[in-house]
Amino acid sequence: MPSGHAPTVRQRRIGSALRKARDRHNLTVATVARRFGRSQGWMSMVENGLQAIAPDELSDLLDLYSIEDGPLRESLLHLATHRRGTWERAWEGRISAAALDLASLEEDAAEIRNFEPLIVPGLLQTPDYTRKLIAVGPAKHNAKALIDFRLSRQRVLRQPDPPRYIPIITEAVLRNRVGGDPAILRTQIRRLAEAARLDHVDLRVLPSTASAYLWLITPYALISLRPPGRLTVSVGDQLNRSIFIEDENEVAAHNEIFDLLLSATLSRTASLALIDEVASQS
């Protein structure tokens, strides 16, 4: 679906936090709207993530709810300051709103944790690897835009102050011949080896002996936004869409699962050694 004016994760997170704060004070939307000098409709739109709110207005609302300086207030105000960049606008109509939302969160992340049991994570894929994946799916008619967009997302790992990136892949990912061409896998494995040596990347391999852990969860990413605070989003990957999970209890459960997966992986050093071994054999 083309991107448009769908509510963003940022707006939904702000709205959810404001709704919870209002409920804690036992205030109705009408009461807050009257005190704040806004209509009930506007307040409802903000709380449902359908209306952006300016940072100064958000600050006033946070004051009304007695949310003092700290990680939550800082994070919410930071979310409200985001303005779409030129690169985001350039992709409108070519890439789904959800994909743009995901890329926006990645660009603003302090930490990205990712579990991929079957394929190389998108942020580490080579163009040929991505091309072969897209070629067998329903979006192959839009292949060039999707490949270019995925490559543009990868720049987040090369920016001056990149997020800490902790991808977990299974041992099978290192051996799955996407596209059937061993040269594509060989180039891709070398790309993984290069990325694994970056200071801000902690690439881990879940060995085949730990396959029992695979039942815990499907591919997903945990994106913790800057500045470090309480705002983490879990993003589930499906064939033709991304599912953004913002409920704090669900996100906490996904955090716990990631820690379990991480505990079963090879160490960073051992993971790199295995990747190098597979690269030398391919």
Residues 115 and 236 occupy one common structural domain: yes
**Residue 134 within a domain:** yes
Q: Distance between alpha carbon 25 and the CA centroid of its chain, in Å? A: 32
Phi, psi (5° rounding) for residue 235?
-120, 115
Residues 46 and 114 occupy one common structural domain: no
Rounded Cα distance, 20 and 23, in Å: 5
Q: What is the DSSP letter of 274?
A: H
Residues 108 and 73 occupy one common structural domain: no
Residues 122 and 257 occupy one common structural domain: yes
Residues 277 and 197 occupy one common structural domain: yes
Residues 178 and 261 occupy one common structural domain: yes
**Residue 118 within a domain:** yes
Q: What does R_g of the chain's alpha carbons equal in angstroms? A: 21
**Residue 198 within a domain:** yes
**Residue 1 within a domain:** no
Residues 55 and 145 occupy one common structural domain: no
Among 92, 96, 91, 90, residue whose Cα is nearest residue 241: 96
Residues 143 and 272 occupy one common structural domain: yes
Residue 37's CATH number: 1.10.260.40
Amino acid 255: pLDDT: 96
**Residue 86 within a domain:** no
Based on the structure, what is the number of domains in the chain? 2
Residues 17 and 113 occupy one common structural domain: no
Using the 3D structure, point to which of 80, 110, 133 is the last residue of a domain: 80
Q: Which residue has the tokens 């292949």?
A: 143
**Residue 87 within a domain:** no
* Residue 205 bridge partners (DSSP): 169
Amino acid 9: pLDDT: 82
Using the 3D structure, point to which of 24, 49, 80 is the last residue of a domain: 80
Residues 148 and 40 occupy one common structural domain: no
**Residue 88 within a domain:** no
* Structural domain containing residue 144: 94-281
Instruction: Determine contact, residues 279/182, Cβ cutoff 8 Å.
Output: no
Using the 3D structure, point to which of 32, 54, 80 is the last residue of a domain: 80
Residues 14 and 114 occupy one common structural domain: no
pTM, two decimals, is: 0.84
**Residue 55 within a domain:** yes
Residue 140's CATH number: 3.30.870
Q: How do the pLDDT tens digits run along the chain, 282 residues long?
A: 333 345 688 888 899 889 999 999 999 999 999 998 999 999 999 999 888 899 999 999 999 999 988 878 888 888 888 766 656 667 777 777 788 888 888 988 999 999 999 999 999 999 999 999 988 877 778 888 888 999 999 999 999 999 999 999 999 999 998 878 889 999 999 999 999 999 999 999 999 999 999 999 999 999 998 776 668 889 987 666 778 888 889 999 999 999 999 999 999 999 999 999 998 887
Residues 58 and 128 occupy one common structural domain: no
Q: Which residue has the tokens 């580490």?
A: 124
Rounded Cα distance, 136 and 50, in Å: 35
